[in-house]
Structure 1
Amino acid sequence: MSTLQPELTLPAAANPSRPIDAADAKAVAKARKPRRTRKWGWSAFAIVIALIWVFPVYWMFNSSMLPNRTLQSFIPTFFPVGGSFQNFSKVVSDGKFYNALGMSVAITLTVVFFCLIFAFLASIAISRFRFRGRKSFVLAVLLVQMLPAEGLFIAQYKMMSSVGLLNSIVGVSIIYTAAVVPFTIWMLRGFVAGIPAELEEAAMVDGLSRTQAFLRITFPLLAPGLVASGVFAFLQAWNEFTVALVLLQSEESHTLPLWLRGFIQAGATRETDWGQVMAASTLIAVPVIIFFLIVQGRMTSGLVSGAVKG
């Protein structure tokens, strides 16, 4: 005896064999419309935020292309129509610019190099080894970051003066490295902790030594973290002003931020040429932009990885 069962009718989305009629297509399109509208809304909002963020940079470059009389007009000029690179040529003709550029490059490269080495070794130690005072060391790293830099100026000046390192690349690099290393250690610690030690152990089972396993397995995985930490150290050393103002008092040892201040003060005796000031600011920002373009891929992945690991 057969039992009659009611025939089940599946919707078009769940029954591929059933052809989609106009009503089903209309229902699907109606369901997707709010989602598409929200997506376009968020995209438009992100574009507006990006334009607001980029506008000061564009305004700096736009002003650097315009003569001073145009900048002093009450009517803003949003496009450098008829502009020229005359402001840039006047800035680079200043002999002190290249000296300040050399000082900034030397200090920044020194700080990034030693900061990454010290932070890398310290992050490996506190992430992979258990030793007495480990938690106290991590806590000390955090406490150092809380100290205001202005409260250390007198001690730093006396210390550098006592060893004859005022107005020198070495003295400023030591202070910068000491200021940047704590945060860099904390940043790299998350990357090292996010890489399982079992990867190295498996490589050692295959015949590699501990050093070879670390260099071939772990170190390549830490590349995004090293890039992200290097970017932070680069920005801190390149843009730092207050410590350099205290330790680099000689004009021959000025970095670019100090040179820019002196460049503005030199024009205070006459009418300030804001076009040249903006051109000088643009030249200072160019190395940072180039550096970001080179490392932006690894920096993005490094920041995201550091946010979810550790």
Structure 2
Amino acid sequence: MTVRSFGKGVGVVAVLAFTLLPVWMMVSTAVNGRANSGSRSVWPEQFTFGNFVGLFRDGEFGRYLVNSVVVAAGTVLVSGLLALLAAVAVARFRFRLRTSVLVVVLIVQMVPLEALVIPLFIQAKGLGLLNSLVGLIVVYLAFSLPFAIWTLRGFVAAVPAELEEAAYLDGCSWWRMFWSVLFPLVAPGLVATSVFSFITAWNEFVFALTFMTDDRNYTVAVGLRNFFGQHLTDWGSVMAASTVITIPVLVFFVFAQKRLTDGLVAGAVKG
């Protein structure tokens, strides 16, 4: 073994340890029955699933989880549909101010989210969307659509226009061509943007807290703070809740992994 290969091995181990140790500590604390007794052990001193049971038995974490699923699913589905149609419009059609639209979409991505809290709050209040999961979905759409449109535009532009013309010659209508020819080819890019939309809706905290006054409408990111007290923190429940929150993200990535990889590679080569 050369010094260079040994150095690479050490570097890989260090990166894995740095990445996986926090995850292990989270899971270990979640199943540690003595997590609230000042235990700092890497291994669970008293193995138990009581922290997970308490999440759904004593609190409203199940409701928060359902709220997050509704918000994340709504954001992914609506943003995916709107972004795909918008990407086709800016990539295929020629209309006035088309370039200006793209520039505006790019500028929106550069605005810090924190700077939009007050304007969006006032706008949502005027539209009656406060304390509503629908209102939260609309806000997350404003964050995810610019990135999705800009990314999907590259995938649509990479599809040869001759394929669409061939479909027209075979008697396809525009919608038939869209779903049968164009959609399958840009699906990897749609998955890549859907992952971004899902993470945005699932992990966001500031707007979910600001827009909700009824704790029954909290998402998991906001509901997690219920386990933090002024003088005492229920670390077992915090880590159990964090583990439960992580599982849907892992499941989503497992199902989207193949398409996500294809989308990222295709975007790097064709975009």
Q: Distance in 1 between matches of 2:191 and 2:155?
A: 12
1:66 to 13, 23, 32: 32
Match for residue 294 of structure 1? 255
- Aligned residue number for residue 131 of structure 2: 167
Change (3 A) 1:46 1:204: farther
| CA–CA separation in structure 2 for the residues paired with 1:71 and 1:49 | 31
For the 8 Å contact 1:115–1:177, the answer to whether it is kept is yes
Q: Partners in 1 of 2:110 and 2:151 — Cα distance?
A: 16
Q: Give the letter aligned to residue 250 of structure 2.
A: I
Report what 1:251 is aligned to: 215
Deviation at 1:238, TM superposition (A): 0.7
Post-superposition Cα deviations, 1:41-91, rounded to whole Å, max 9, x if no partner, equal 656644542342222112211111113358724xx4333364111111112
Query: Please, which of 223, 226, 242 is the counterpart of residue 190 of structure 2?
Result: 226
Counterpart check, 1:178 vs 2:178: no
Q: Aligned letter for 2:153?
A: R
Amino acid at match of 2:122: K
Q: Distance in 2 between matches of 1:305 and 1:38?
A: 33
Partner of 2:74: 110
Distance in structure 2 (CA, Å) of the matches to 1:118 and 1:231: 15
Secondary structure, in 3 states, of the residue corresponding to 2:101?
Answer: helix
**1:61-100 matches, cutoff 5 A:** 61-68=27-34, 72-73=38-39, 76-80=40-44, 82-100=46-64
**Alpha-carbon separation, structure 2, partners of 1:94 and 1:65:** 17
Report what 1:283 is aligned to. 244
Query: Normalization by structure 1: what TM-score?
Result: 0.80
Runs of 4+ aligned structure 1 residues displaced above 4 Å come to: 37-44
Alignment of 1:126-165 (within 5 A): 126-165=90-129
- Secondary structure class of the residue paired with 1:222: helix
Deviates more, 1:147-156 or 1:208-217: 208-217
1:270-301: CA deviation from partner (whole Å, max 9, x where unpaired):
x3231221111111111111111111111111
Match of 1:308 in 2: 269
- Equivalent residue number for residue 20 of structure 2: 54
Counterpart Cα distance in 1 of 2:245 and 2:152: 28
User: Aligned residue pairs: how many?
Assistant: 271
Whether the aligned pair in 2 keeps the contact of 1:71 and 1:274 (CA below 8 Å) is no
Do 2:33 and 2:46's aligned partners in 1 also have CA atoms closer than 8 Å? no
Q: Which runs of 5+ in 2 are unaligned?
A: none
Identity %: 43
Mind listing any 5+ residue stretches in structure 1 that lack a counterpart?
1-32
Letter in structure 2 aligned against 1:252: R
